[in-house]
Amino acid sequence: MQHETRTQRWQLQGQIRMLFLTAMALFTVTVLIGILNGLDLVDFSHSQLLTHVHAGTLGWITLAVFAATLWMFSEGRTLDEQELIRARLFANLAAAAIALYVIAFLIGNTTLRVIMGALALTAIGSFIGWAMRQRRHVEMTVPRLAILAALTSLLVGAILGVLLGLQTAGVDISTRLFGAHPATMVIGYLLLAGMAIAEWRLVPSPKAIGEDRAGIVQVALLFLGGITLMLGILLDVFPLLTLNVPFELIGIGIFLVRLRQPLKRAGWTSAGNTRLFALSALFLVANVLLLAYLIVNYADDFEATPSWLFFALDHSVFIGVMTNALFGLVDEASGGALAARAWATQVAFFGMNAGLLGFVVGLMTQETALKRLFAPVMGVSILIVMAVFALRLAGEKAAVTP
């Protein structure tokens, strides 16, 4: 029986580890560019800055979210041979295609970006198709519903990204893609993905969605918030833009009420990964409030938005929401508190987040000294944590334990 359970839980261990390792390798590119840029030591080109963004959003976050999806939809059951083949194929295809796409951004050739973007879109769509089919084989819960909603937004954002690549290459489509693509990826995709992972790990025995109507409403509101924001930007419809605010605020309010007890019990003073998931949940709230402030004050003229507000929103989502949640997950996947160098989560919780908060304050106050101080604190902390996790995952005893 023990061997049977082990087999069920570890069927996709190799693909989960591969996705995490590839994701962290690509994130290293993002972090190194970020440190040098934060210190104002290098004047990066536009292509290099786009590499910084896409190595983080697609390379790190999306591949790690794919690993979480494999884990979430395979735990507690045995996949048949065809399901395993497809899961492994689509995971490998996604890792390769996204890595090539990041390289295309670094090279800076717009035609190559369109080609690699189409390949990445195909890989992303194939993986999402696999994930959608799995809902028929598992009990659907709010975290699983949220991750599928997040992946749907990712697919929409990826399509917009390819269209934006065509626009950049000279095909006249719509200049509004320059706003709609990042808005869909950050608001429609990342907030839902972070919510899904945080709730999944903070609530060990979730209800089926049929017994959790509040959870369904929570996911629906955040999903609709992302869609209305995207359509509002694409179609230049002001009421759609403003509709995002109540959707997001009510949705995140329901999330806080539903998770109030797990957040209280998160072990804030104890080492471990639980407080990383809890901190990710709190950053979700901060991001929704920042977004509401942006829309209420600048929806009628986004070009008037101060650049610091965009950068603060982006970094608090990428690091505060997603990297906290994903580091918590990678820590679990590589042994958690029982693994070697268990102090890595301390570096993540204190070093990375202190660096993030200081960096965001520097952006908000436009104090260059703060940005130069805290960018390397955040970046070096991330590099240390990833080095520890990579050593664990590469070891023979690394194991995924749902």
Mean pLDDT of 286-305: 89
pLDDT tens track for 231-257: 999 988 889 999 999 999 999 999 999
The CATH architecture one would assign to domain 1-138 is Up-down Bundle (1.20)
Please say if the pLDDT value at position 302 is more than 50.
yes
CA distance 110 to 213: 46
Which are the contacts of 267, defined by CB distance < 8 A and separation ≥ 6? 274, 275
Please say if the pLDDT value at position 40 is more than 80.
yes
For the whole model, what pTM was predicted?
Answer: 0.93
Which are the contacts of 172, defined by CB distance < 8 A and separation ≥ 6? none
Please say if the pLDDT value at position 387 is more than 60.
yes
Please say if the pLDDT value at position 6 is more than 50.
no
CA distance 365 to 241: 27
Q: What is the pLDDT of residue 402?
A: 43
* pLDDT-based confidence at residue 1 (cuts at 50, 70, 90): very low
- Chain-wide mean pLDDT for the chain? 91
pLDDT tens track for 8-32: 446 888 999 999 999 999 999 999 9
Mean pLDDT of 69-97: 92
Q: What is the pLDDT of residue 182?
A: 86
CB 48 within 8 A of CB 102: no
pLDDT tens track for 311-320: 899 999 999 9
